[in-house]
Each structure stands twice: as structure tokens, then as C-alpha cells.
Amino acid sequence: MKLYIKYMVSLRCKMVVHQELEKLGIKNAVVDLGTVELLDEISPEQRQILKENLLKTGLEVLDNKKSILIEKIKNVVIEMIHYSDELPKENFSDYISEKLGYDYTYLANTFSEVKGMTLQHFIIINKVEKVKELLLYDELNLTEISYKLNYSSVAHLSNQFKKITGLSPSFYKQLKQRRLGNLEDL
């Protein structure tokens, strides 16, 4: 049996789900981002209790097929950008389509219909979040970040970054350094 869980996008979320499953005496479960694979069936009562307990922590067990598909799309994008060492060399559309087994146009239209934003915009937002993270780590320069995230150029990365955040990547990095400097002055 497979359950799909909305907003489950971090290791902390996975730990919360594990804990809730253990409270219900459900031991044989594989918890991954957005999904829980149960080796045994659970009762409707257990499912309802799990649903209510997860909702208290901000997680939601999904029943609607479109909602489940949207979560699968979001999880593929988040995993692809935030949790893999290297982005796929193929187009994101081909990668997502192959990973989920659906035509990309169908996935993109469903995503836009339900989320009110294009799938492409969602990918860009996540790439910019990854850029922000990499800028804060200060291990890679902008050219290296651009290459790592498959941008065609530093200028392209900078333009997308500015459209999403309102700041240039270099100004964003300066803000971080100013904040650290201010903390040291305390």
C-alpha cells in the first residue's frame, strides 16, 4: 500500500512520518519524500488517525488523484534540484516525464491548473533557492554555480535570480556578509 503526503519535502518531515507510523504500531514502512510504502495494509481507523496526526504537523495525506500527481511532480523537481549531486543533462521536461511516466504536456497542464503557476516557473523558483543556498555556503563562485545548475550562462542565472528575488546574486551575497558582520559587532 502506498500513501502520498503533501508538504513532505525534507528529512525532518520523513522523521515526523516515521514517528507517527511507530505510534500506530506500523513498523514495515519505507518513507521517502512525499511517499510512504507500507508493506502491510492498514485499517481505515489507522489511516484516519495518521491523517489527523500528520495534519497537526503540517503534513497532509492525499486522496485525490490530481493532488497525488502534483505532489509527485513537486517531489521529482525538489529531489532533482536539491538532493542530487548533479542535475540531469537532458531537458527537465524529458527527465520529469520519464520519471513519472506521463507526457510532459499533460503534467505541465495539470500542474498549472492545480497550482496556478507553470511547472517551468516552479522549477525556476527551486533553482533560485538552490542558488541562494550555494551562495550562502560560499564554496562556489557564480560561474561554478551556473555550471552546476545547467544555466547557459552566468547572465541567464543572474536574470532569473533577479526576477525571483528582486536582488542580484552579488548583492544577495553582500547582504549575507553584512549580516555576519553585524552579528560580530554585538
Half-sphere exposure of 117 (CA within 13 A, CB side): 9
pLDDT value for 67: 87
Judge whether 105 and 36 are in contact, CB under 8 Å: no
Q: What is the value of pTM for the model shown?
A: 0.73
Residue 180 has pLDDT above 80, yes or no: no
The angle formed by the CA atoms of residues 75, 147 and 126, to the nearest 5 degrees, is 25
pLDDT value for 39: 86
What would the pLDDT profile of 11-31 be if each residue is shown by its tens digit? 888 899 999 999 998 887 888
pLDDT value for 9: 80
pLDDT band for position 181 (cuts 50, 70, 90): low
Cell numbers at residue 30, please? 519505507
What would the pLDDT profile of 118-171 be if each residue is shown by its tens digit? 999 999 999 999 999 999 888 889 999 999 998 999 999 999 999 999 999 999
Alpha-carbon distance of 3 to 148, in angstroms, equals 33
* Long-range pairs of 39-45 with CB within 8 A, sequence gap ≥ 24: 40/1, 41/1, 42/1
Q: What is the mean pLDDT of residues 54-81?
A: 90
Amino acid at the residue 128:
V
What would the pLDDT profile of 59-70 be if each residue is shown by its tens digit? 998 888 888 899
